[in-house]
Amino acid sequence: MDNRFYFNAQNQSKVEFYGQEYVHLTKVRRCKIGDLIIGFNGDGFDYHLKIETIAKDKVVATILDKQKNKAFDDTNIVVYLALIKNDALTSAIDHLAELNVKSVKLFKSDFSVVTIDEKKLNKLNQISIQASKQSERADIMKIELIKKSDIKKDIEKYKNRFFAYENSTDSICKFSGDFALIIGPEGGFSREEVDYFSSFAKTISISKTILRAEVACVSAVSALKAVSNVG
């Protein structure tokens, strides 16, 4: 992790690091001109770089080579997660990124007790970037907001659709390919929501006990990956 840095500015032969990554490079790692580092920008490749310039507000590095990241997985996993308390949400985002989830779509359910603004959403996306660094993946889990009423249409692109529901009597069965998962908030789903989600997603039970939301989403993704062909 300490030798991996995220960038979003590049031309054909050079990349630039600003802001938090600039501070990490210059103040934390104390990198020098000529040092070799690894960069990534979310496209699934690791960029092998050599630091060329250290300016007052940016670091410029030359691209020596790029290779497909060893952790990259084409399988598309999306989690529709009801809004949960901030600390739990941060934990869930961190761990879902480590599990190679491609995107998390947050929605407000009937029993969600928190709201989210653009500032918090940006912070969660920064957490996702840091989780990619730590887990050595080179793509970035995208986090966005979605209206509950839009989930039915949005989830149709996935052949395998699961709805984690504590009262379900159905266990997880083997399947293959991409999958989508719906997870509720701390207080669970209302009766209306259960009817809504179960009309287009297969209800599954992931534990005999009631799990906290941040634990449930990680457990469910792990369980579904274990019975699928996901690498």
Comparing 11 with 130, the larger pLDDT belongs to 130
Q: Do 17 and 86 belong to one domain?
A: no
Cα separation values, 137 from 5, 72, 126, 129, 221, Å: 11, 6, 15, 10, 17
d(CA 106, CA 19): 27
Same domain assignment for residues 103 and 205:
yes
Assess whether 99 and 43 both reside in one domain. Answer: no
Residues 9 and 26 in one domain: yes
Is residue 63 domain-shared with residue 99, that is, in the same domain?
no
> Within this chain, do residues 48 and 142 fall inside the same structural domain, yes or no?
no
The residue among 68, 88, 107 that closes a domain is 68
Span 102-113, pLDDT tens digits: 999 999 999 998
Of 101, 85, 105, 113, the closest CA to residue 146 belongs to 105
What's the structural domain count of the chain?
2
Choice between 91 and 167, residue whose per-residue pLDDT is larger: 91
**CATH code for the domain of 48:** 2.40.240.20
Give helix 213-227 / helix 86-98 axis angle, nearest 10°. 20
CA gap 87, 93 in Å, rounded: 10
For residues 217-227, average pLDDT: 91
Same domain, 59 and 157: no
Domain that holds residue 172: 77-227
Tell me, what CATH number does 208's domain have? 3.40.1280.10
Q: Do 116 and 189 lie in a common domain?
A: yes
C-alpha distances (whole Å) from 89 to each of 132, 163, 215 are 17, 19, 10
pLDDT the model gives residue 129: 92
Residue 78, pLDDT above cutoff 70: yes
Residue 19 has pLDDT above 60, yes or no: yes
Mind listing the pLDDT tens digit for each residue in 175-215?
888 999 999 998 889 999 999 999 999 999 887 777 888 99
**Whether residue 150 is found in the same domain as residue 183:** yes
1 has a pLDDT exceeding 70: no
Flag whether the pTM goes above 0.85: yes
pLDDT, the chain, mean: 91
Same domain, 52 and 142: no
230: pLDDT strictly greater than 60: no
Structure tokens at 73: 């997985």
* Domain shared by 107 and 37, yes or no: no
- Tell whether 179 and 87 lie within a shared domain: yes
Of the candidates 227, 226, 224, 184, the one whose C-alpha atom is nearest the C-alpha of residue 77 is 224
For the cut 90, the answer to whether the pLDDT of residue 68 exceeds it is yes
Name the pLDDT band for 119 (thresholds 50, 70, 90). Answer: very high
